[in-house]
Chains A and B, each alone.
Chain A
Amino acid sequence: MENILGLVALASGLIVGLGAIGASIGIALMGGKFLEASARQPELMNDLQTKMFILAGLIDAAFLIGVAIALLFAFANPFAATFLANLPR
């Protein structure tokens, strides 16, 4: 029970960090392919751009949901509340 705050802090860091790695790899792959595709067929660029932005939003969303949950743990920590409630008086 004592190191619960430390573990939650580590977990928040891992959520943000691993999520950022995943989202970055996803955006990088897609952006690279988009540039390749539009260099090959510039007339498709506008169509592809719309789709790329949608997908960028979808990729970003999973990461940002993770960030929201991590920040929630960091500031309004439900585990710490339980911990403090169970402290011996």
Chain B
Amino acid sequence: MAAEGHAPTASEYIVHHLQHWQVNWGLEPVTQKAIVDFNVINLDSVLYALAIGVIGCFVLWLAARKATAGVPGRFQAAVEILVEMVDNQARANIHNATSRKFIAPLALTVFVWIFLLNAMDMLPVDLLPALWAKFHEASGGDPHHAYMRVVPTADLSTTLGLSTSVLLLCLFYSVKIKGLGGWGHELITAPFGAHPVLWPINFLMQVIEYLAKTVSHGMRLFGNMYAGELVFMLIALMGGAMAASFSGVLLPIGHIIAGTVWAIFHILVITLQAFIFMMLTLIYLGQAHEGH
């Protein structure tokens, strides 16, 4: 995006960093034209999400393999606290023991995975993109076209994909627990009542409820991570602006202070958003188990 021959301006820097590494199904580089385009894959999000998912699974597997019934070590105790916390929340929200066998591990996976994906925000904002640009240049490409975003949850495709999966599970459990007839009956009689005149209104309300749940579920995580990433970029620009001006010798100090404050606040945000995503998954799935 940046024009060759001069350092990128602030706006060009941000735009470059907000561009995904996009390919089509044949893995050839493309740029996205429409807002929704199923021929475009954000390859960076996919790769980071897969890699981090594998790492998360591996670490938890390591804890499970070495687990003892005796006095646990620090690592085992930490994992036990985590699993117990998720299990308690699952018990409080899902009252069906058979479903819980699937949903409690699902909630644990969601929490650990989203937490680790969000934690990619804690890496220096330029580290991986700069390495990727170097690699791209070394392999004969143009470094200005080496796009990479390292936080998969700051990509709307990832978060809406997660929330859509939760929606599909909700529909699956609604049918499984209440039966097709029972769920169909609920769709047209809740929330206002069983009078035939109210059926279309009830059905419309249910559709709106499902849509609003799913969209807000994904948008909430995306919005938080995207804003966090953008603020990290602005802070990085603050230090970078020193090189461009003679009067800005104090800017790096501001950079360090602002970066520290935002990073500490962001530790809260990434944990909280992962926790909220897990809790809402449990709550929505719990609603699918209950009749109105």
Contacts and interface: CB of A to CB of B under 8 A. Distances in A.
Q: Do the two chains belong together in a single complex?
A: yes
Interface of A: 53-54, 56-58, 60-61, 64-68, 71-72, 75-76
Contacts of B128: none
Contact count band on B: 20 to 34
Instruction: Label chain A's interface by main secondary structure.
Output: helix
A12 to B, nearest CB: 12
B201 interface: no
B276 interface: yes
Given A54-B279, A57-B272, A75 B220 contact: no
Contacts of A71: 227, 230-231, 234
A57 B275 contact: yes
Contact of A53 (B220, B227, B231, B272): B272
Given A54-B276, A57-B272, A76 B227 contact: no
Interface of B: 10-11, 14-15, 18, 219-220, 222-224, 226-228, 230-231, 234, 269, 272-273, 275-276, 279
Contacts of A58: 220, 276
Contacts of A67: 223, 227, 230-231
B276 A75 contact: no
Nearest to A56: B272
A68 B276 contact: no
A61 B15 contact: no
Nearest to B277: A57
Given A68-B230, A71-B227, A76 B276 contact: no
Given A53-B272, A58-B220, A76-B14, A65 B279 contact: no
26 contacts: A53-B275, A57-B220, A57-B272, A57-B273, A57-B275, A58-B276, A60-B269, A61-B273, A61-B276, A64-B223, A64-B227, A65-B219, A65-B222, A65-B223, A65-B224, A67-B223, A67-B227, A67-B231, A68-B223, A68-B226, A68-B227, A71-B231, A72-B230, A75-B18, A75-B230, A76-B11
B10 A75 contact: yes
